[in-house]
Structure 1
Amino acid sequence: MTTPATLDVVAIGNAIVDVMAPCADAKIAELGLQRGGMTLVDTERAQQLYDAMGPAREISGGSAANTLAGLAALGAKCAFIGQVAEDQLGEVFAHDIRAGGIAFDTPAREGNPPTARCLIFVSPDGQRTMNTFLGASQFLPADALNVDTIASAQVLYLEGYLWDPEEPRAAMRRAIAASRDAGRKVAFTLSDAFVISRHGDDFRDLIANGQIDILFANEGELAALTGEDDCDAGIAKLTPNVPVLVVTRGAEGAVAVVDGVRAAVPAEPIAKVVDTTGAGDLFAAGFLFGHVRGLAPETCLKMGAICAAEVISHYGARPEADIAALVSEATA
C-alpha cells in the first residue's frame, strides 16, 4: 500500500544563478552566439561573455528550480535537489530557493568548480540566448539524494539539462527507481534539442520502458525526440507510452494528451513579451499544480498558460506577480 505523500513535487535540476542583460541582435551575432539557443560554455568562454555583457541582473534560476518556484508560489509543497559550491553565488541560490518556501538541504560542494551560472542575452523582442557554465551543478552525486524525500512526493520532476553530466545522470536514475518503488509518478522535461541529440536514446528507452509518467516538450524537442516534423505525428508517436504528454507551442498555445484524451488551450494574451526565459518552466509549474490536485487537463493547461504569460512579461525566470491569484481568478 502506498503511503500518503507529504510533498507535491520534488525536483532534481541544475542549481544556477542567471546573469541577465539586454542585448542587440547584432551584438549576439558579433559574439558568435546562436540566437534563442542554449550553449554550454567553459570557464574561459563564460568570463569572455560576462565581460561583453552590459549592466546585468543576477537572479537565481535553473529550469527545475524555476518550476518549483512557480509551484511554491501557487501553494504547492516542494523540495529541490541540486548542487552548489561553497561560494557567494551558492549562498545566493540557497537563500533564494528557501525564501520561496522550498525545502533545500543538498550540502554545498567544497572547492572548485564554482556555482553554476547562466549568462543570458535578452533580445529586444524578448528572445533569450543562454550560455551556461554548469560549474558545481554537474557534480551532483547519487549519495547526495535524500531517498525519503523523493519517496514522499507525489511527483519526481527531472530536468533534461542535468542528464548531460555523468554524476547527476546516475543520481537521476537512482531517483527514478526510488520514486517508482514508492508508487509515485515521474515527470521529465526534455529541456532542449541539443540534450536530445546527445541522450535521445536514453530518453526513448525510459519512455519505452514505462519509466516516464509525465513528459514536457516544446515542438522542437518533440521533433528531435520522435523524428517527426509534424507536431501531431510526433504526439501520436509518443502517446502510447506516455500517460501524460504536454507539448507547448509558443504563440499557438499548448496541447496535452492524458490517457489518450487530447486537450488544447491557446496562449494567454499579453501586452508585451519582455523576456521568454522560464516560459516553459512556469508552464510546467502551472500544469503540475493542477495535475497533482486531480484537475481536468484543460484546466491544468490553462494554469500553465497563465503562469507562462506572467513570467514572460518581465525579466527573470521566476514569477513576480501573485500567480496564485491570477490562476484562481481565471479558473474559477
Structure 2
Amino acid sequence: MTDSPDQPRYDVIAIGNAIVDVMAPCEDALIEDLGLAKGGMTLIDTARAEELYAAMGPAKEISGGSAANTLAGMAALGARCAFIGQVADDQLGAVFSHDIRAVGVDFDTPKRKAEPPTARCLIFVTPDGERTMNTFLGASQFLPPAALDEALIASAGILYLEGYLWDPEEPRSAMRRAIEVARETGRKVAFTASESFVIDRHGEDFRALIADGLIDILFVNETELASLTGETNFDAGLDALKDSVPVLVATRSAKGAVAIASGERAEVPAEPVAKVVDTTGAGDLFAAGFLTGHAREESLERCLKMGAICAAEVISHYGARPEADLQALVVGA
C-alpha cells in the first residue's frame, strides 16, 4: 500500500547527530581543573577529546545524539520511527547502529568509509546530576544530501530536525532538502533549537525558517527562547513566537513546560523525581513524549504531560535513553 499524508508509514523520521555518549561521574573540582563550563555543551577537536577521555574516571558507553535519543523514547512508547544520521565504518559506528535498531528504530544510512571516526560525547556528571558535555562531532558532521532517502522522509508524518546538526555545512544542506521533501509531500516539520550557542551562530537561519512558515512544531528551552527572540522575559518570548509557529513548546526544567497552539495555551509542572541523577537527555525525552502524543492527536496538555513523564524518567538514572517502561508510566498517569 502506498503511503499517503493520512496513512504515514512512520510517525516520525529524525535527522540528527549519530553519537556515542561516554559518561562518567566526577566531582565539581575536576570540572574546574579541566576548565569546563559546567552544565554546558562544548564542541571539541580530536586532541581535546583525547585529553578529556584520559581525565575521566570509569565510564559507561551509551549510544546517544539528541534526535536519536528522542526516537528511542518514542519507540519505547510504541511509536513508529526511523533515523537518518552519519556514522563511520568503525567500532563506535557499529555500536550506534546496533543500539538504535535494538530499541526499534529503523536506521539504514550508509556508513562513511573515510575519516573522521564516529562522533562521541564525553559527559562529566557531577553529584548534583548536572551534565557537562564535550562533543567531538566526527563523522556525524559529514552527512551529505545524497545520503537522504527522500521516499523515507515522505513516508513519515513528522520530520524532526536537530539544531545541533545545523552547524556543519553538509548536514545543514541535507536538512534543507529534507524540509523541501516534507513540504512537497504534505508532512509536518518539527525542529529543536538544541542549544543557545547554535542559535547564536545560526539564529538568522532559524528565524527565517520560522518566518517562512517552514516549522510546524518548535521546541526550545527557556534560555534558547531568549536567544531566539531577544526577550529576557519568558512570557514576552512566547508572545514573540506564538503567532509564527503552529505549535510552540517551551521547557523550563524544574518549572515545567508550556505549549501554545492555535491560540490555546497549556502548561504542566515538572514531574516529581526522588533524586535527579543525570539531566542528560531530559529535553530529548520530553520531545519524545510530546511528539508521540501529538502524533496520536492527544490534547496539548496531555502531550506536555507525556513529555514531562518521559523527562522525569530519564533524569532518574545515568544515560539519555529510557530504562523504565515508558508506556506503563504514561498510561498510569
Once the 2 structures are TM-superposed, how far is the Cα of residue 259 of structure 1 from its aligned partner?
1.2
- Confirm or deny that 1:128 pairs with 2:131: yes
Q: What aligned pairs does 1:176-191 form with structure 2 within 5 A after superposition? A: 176-191=179-194
Pair 1:234-2:237 in alignment: yes
What letter matches 2:112 in structure 1?
R
Q: State which of 254, 258, 261 in structure 2 corresponds to 1:255.
A: 258
Match of 1:325 in 2: 328
- The question of 1:195 aligning with 2:178 is answered no
> What is the rounded CA distance, in whole Å, between the counterparts of 1:27 and 1:43 in structure 2?
20
Q: Report the TM-score when normalising by structure 1.
A: 0.99
- Does the CA contact (< 8 Å) of 2:5 and 2:157 recur in 1? no
Aligned to 1:207: 210
Q: CA deviation at 1:2?
A: 3.8
Is 2:47 aligned against 1:44?
Answer: yes
TM-score by length of 2: 0.98
What is the aligned-residue identity percentage? 73
Task: Tell me which residue corresponds to 1:167.
Answer: 170
Structure 1 residue aligned with 2:273, among 270, 277, 284? Answer: 270
Deviation per CA, 1:54-106, whole angstroms, max 9, x where unpaired?
00000000000000000000000000000000000000000000001110000
CA distance in 1, matches of 2:6, 2:302: 27
Query: CA contact under 8 A between 1:243 and 1:260: conserved in structure 2?
Result: no
Q: Kindly provide the CA deviation profile for residues 121-175 of structure 1, in whole angstroms up to 9, marking residues without a partner as x.
A: 0010000000000000000000100001100101000000000000000000000
In structure 1, the residue matched to 2:71 is 68
Partners of 1:246 and 1:264 lie apart in 2 by 10
The equivalent residue for 2:23 is 20
**Superposition pairs for residues 82-161 of structure 1, below 5 Å?**
82-161=85-164
Structure 2's unaligned 5+ residue stretches are: none
Is 2:59 aligned against 1:56?
yes
| SS of corresponding position for 1:263 | strand
SS at match of 1:120: strand
SS of 1:55's partner is coil
CA distance in 2, matches of 1:82, 1:2: 24
Q: Secondary structure, in 3 states, of the residue corresponding to 2:332?
A: helix
Task: Determine helix, strand or coil for the equivalent of 2:133.
Answer: strand
Q: CA offsets per residue over residues 180-234 of structure 1, 9 Å max, x none?
A: 1110100000000000000000000000000000000000000000000011000
Is this contact kept in 1: 2:87–2:119, CA < 8 A? yes
Equivalent AA in structure 2 for residue 12 of structure 1:
I
Deviating above 4 A after TM superposition, structure 1's stretches of 4 or more consecutive aligned residues are none
